[in-house]
Amino acid sequence: MGRLVVGCVFGLALVAGLTPGGTAHATRAAASCSVSRKLPRPPADRPSYTLRVRMGGTLAEFSGSLAVSFAPSVATDRIVFRLWPNSPAFAGDARLTVGDVTAGGRRLATSRPNATTLVVSRAVRERENVKLSMTWKLRLSRRPGLALRGGRSARLVSFFPLLAWDGSGWATDAPLRRLGVWPTSPTADFDVRVTLPPRLRVLATGDEIRPGHWRARAVRDFALAIGAFDVVRTIIRAPAPVRVTVGLERGSFAPIQPFVADTRRALVAYARRFGDYPWPTYTLAVMSDFTSFDGFAYPTIGFVGDSSLVLVPHETAHQWFQSLVGNNQSRDPWLSEGLATWAQTGPEKSLATMLATPIPADVRDRLGEPVSFFDRLGFEKLRLGVYVQTVQALATLGDAQTVDCALRQFTVGNAYRTAIPRDLLDAFDDFFADAEARLRARGARF
């Protein structure tokens, strides 16, 4: 869930809460951890999407086509796509529809068990490669603060029919009314052509190989920002060269350089702590329509409000904990939000502040609950019960440097996969004798 107000609180609190321990956090971890940072290769049989995106008369209407090839590792009797913009979290006024779904020129039967799920009746044998094509139409929500919005600019995230495969089956968790989550989707390749009026600029997942033509390799979603941006580009080593692009929406009064500096710092620090940054690009879209602190992360791209600089460490951390190592965020939000929050305590030097944060009784020792449990309680309870409580639970395992080392083993060992809590526990078990009991005590389930 990219959606988050968390960093503002910590970002402001940590100015008063600097600790010497926090300063040494990343550097000692780098010196003492013997787990290799080198990632495995992405799965060779990953899906491949060819996507066309055309803007309509306004920034609220888009249409296009989608072709996807998919070869499941186990046989399945159907193919499931998420139509995520139809989630109630997008206020009910966004709408994604699809035309006929075809394979090899033949039309396939489809059904819509609910607004966000498209089921295609096509059995697929183990490792059989099936190619499906369809057209799609998208109308964006105009409500402020949400991930999809048409106005002077637009953010398109999980905006097209997205395969719901988790590696062994279909993840069809119901969307939530209040809290936004990422749909579970497999690591894939994307070839995307975007057609827009010339006055508008695109910032997107992956690499623009020629004007309007984007490629992204080994990512689980493709997201873009459309608008008028001033752009700063820089190159970092994480440790391979990464071309970092920061785009600030025109008309914003915020200076762009702090966003560039904090993005650079976070990427370099996380690559040292958790494993190599796997992609050749990273992009941050800094946008001025957010009405409060807000941020979202998608593969190789982050979105933050222009008054939300403090969210940069958290959103950047999602490149390791959600983008690289995926999870079912509806069911196990602590695997992405909790671990991203643990990561941000490094650049923020906020570990002491988080450890001193009280957890309300109704979410105490419940860090393993699904997001649906928190949907009725609201974001602040989710923030405390999952984001902060995970940090507190990990800190009970041992020193921060060893926790980081175990997390590196988790990210490298589960890169490009959709992980479950047991995968995280397996990594912790190699470092801490009583990891399971300590995490269960705070509500984790394995």
Applying CB under 5 A, which residues contact Zn ion?
A: 4, 337
Could you write out the three-class secondary structure of 44-66?
Answer: CCCCEEEEEEEECCCCCEEEEEE
* Residue 326: CB minimum distance to Zn ion, A: 14
Looking at beta carbons only, is 1 or 163 nearer to Zn ion? 1
Would you say the C-alpha torsion 198, 199, 203, 204 has a positive or negative sign? negative
Looking at beta carbons only, is 119 or 367 nearer to Zn ion? 367
Looking at beta carbons only, is 50 or 372 nearer to Zn ion? 372
DSSP, res 89: G
* Residue 37: CB minimum distance to Zn ion, A: 23
Looking at beta carbons only, is 67 or 359 nearer to Zn ion? 359
* Residue 321: CB minimum distance to Zn ion, A: 8
DSSP letters, 74-87, are: S-BS-EEEE-GGGS
| Chain centre distance of CA 400 | 24
What DSSP element (H or E) covers 191?
strand 188-195
* Residue 173: CB minimum distance to Zn ion, A: 17
How far lies 133's CA from each of 70, 102, 139, 203, in Å? 11, 5, 20, 25
Phi first, then psi, for residue 10 (nearest 5°) are -70, -40
Looking at beta carbons only, is 87 or 390 nearer to Zn ion? 390
* Residue 387: CB minimum distance to Zn ion, A: 7
* Residue 318: CB minimum distance to Zn ion, A: 6
* Residue 347: CB minimum distance to Zn ion, A: 15
How many whole angstroms separate alpha carbon 137 and alpha carbon 50?
16
Residue 110 · residue 78 · CB < 8 Å: no
Looking at beta carbons only, is 238 or 297 nearer to Zn ion? 297
Looking at beta carbons only, is 49 or 296 nearer to Zn ion? 296
Q: Where are the beta strands (DSSP E) in 299-393?
A: 301-305, 326-327
Residue 81 · residue 163 · CB < 8 Å: yes
* Residue 304: CB minimum distance to Zn ion, A: 11
**Mutual angle of helices 6-16 and 339-348, in 10-degree steps:** 30
Q: Is 109 exposed, middle or buried (0-12, 13-18, 19+ CB in 10 A)?
A: exposed
Looking at beta carbons only, is 337 or 404 nearer to Zn ion? 337
DSSP-based three-state secondary structure for 315? helix
* Residue 225: CB minimum distance to Zn ion, A: 18
Residue 343 · residue 320 · CB < 8 Å: yes
- Between CA 214 and CA 381, with CA 308 as vertex, the angle to 5 degrees is 105
Looking at beta carbons only, is 205 or 390 nearer to Zn ion? 390
| Residue listed under structure tokens 């995230």 | 157
Looking at beta carbons only, is 335 or 400 nearer to Zn ion? 335
Residue 53 · residue 136 · CB < 8 Å: no
* Residue 314: CB minimum distance to Zn ion, A: 6
